[in-house]
């Protein structure tokens, strides 16, 4: 049973690798970014709340994010393990996650850190061109990562598996699978 958290700066390829790894590991891929974008697409109240934050490169408020994840982890398929992509994104969310898992008698297997130099991140996001991939918003998201998300690396000390996430998608997923086996 694998319960994995993927951490890395915006554009590091968390979503790309999560899709591959969830297939290989046979566990659901739970992406807060994708859940928000689906809510925006469906014009739900949650989507309306999230949109202005995402467009500005800020984190969506914790209450909204935590409740959305709690609902998703209550789904039956998450009982067999999961890959959390983009959550938690700060230590307050990590505390909430730890509480949610504790209530279910679960623990994280590991936290996978995707390591990519900043120039490469900016290049990937500008090429992708999602609506929040403009130069100004990218800079803001990178700054938010440094101040809010990077402290998770300390928080999860002892559980971190660091992956060199430069290379082809296949090379990186092989590195990740190899690291998980060890």
Residues forming the site for ligand B4P (CB under 6 A) = 8, 10-16, 32-33, 36, 53-54, 57, 59-60, 65, 86-87, 89, 93, 124, 128, 141, 167-169, 172
Shortest Cβ 93–ligand B4P spacing (Å) = 6
For ligand B4P, give the closer residue by CB, 53 or 155.
53
Cβ nearer to ligand B4P, comparing 27 with 97: 97
Least separation in angstroms between CB 147 and ligand B4P: 13
Annotated binding site for ATP: 11-16, 128, 167
Axis-axis angle for helices 45-56, 135-144 (nearest 10): 100
What one-character-per-residue DSSP string does 75-142 give? SGGGGG-EEEES---SHHHHHHHHHHHHHTT----EEEEEE--HHHHHHHHHHH--TT-SHHHHHHHH
Give min distance, CB of 77 to ligand B4P, in A: 20
| Strand 82-85 relative to strand 110-115, pairing | unpaired
Residue placing its CB nearer to ligand B4P in the complex, 14 or 72: 14
CB of 30 to ligand B4P, least distance (A): 11
Selection from 175, 157, 155, 156 nearest residue 165 by Cα: 175
Which residues are part of a known binding site? 11-16, 32, 37, 58-60, 86-89, 93, 128, 130, 141, 167
SS3 163: strand
Q: Exposed, middle or buried by CB within 10 Å (0-12, 13-18, 19+), for 178?
A: exposed
- Which of 63, 75 has the CB closer to ligand B4P? 63
């Amino acid at each position: 049973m694998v319960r994995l958290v993927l951490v890395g700066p915006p554009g590091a390829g968390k979503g790309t690798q999560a899709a591959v790894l969830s297939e290989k590991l046979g566990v659901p891929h739970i992406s807060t970014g994708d859940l928000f974008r689906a809510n925006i697409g469906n014009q739900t109240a949650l989507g309306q709340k999230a949109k202005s934050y995402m467009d500005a490169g800020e984190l969506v408020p914790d209450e909204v994010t935590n409740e959305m994840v709690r609902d998703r982890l209550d789904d039956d398929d998450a009982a067999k393990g999961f890959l959390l992509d983009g959550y938690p994104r700060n230590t307050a969310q990590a505390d909430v996650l730890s509480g949610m898992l504790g209530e279910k008698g679960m623990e994280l297997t590991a936290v996978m850190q995707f390591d990519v130099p900043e120039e490469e991140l900016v290049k990937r996001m500008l090429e992708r061109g999602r609506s929040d991939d403009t130069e100004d918003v990218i800079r803001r998201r990178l700054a938010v990562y440094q101040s809010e998300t990077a402290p998770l690396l300390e928080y999860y000390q002892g559980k971190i598996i660091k992956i060199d996430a430069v290379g082809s998608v296949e090379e990186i997923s092989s590195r990740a699978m190899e690291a998980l086996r060890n």
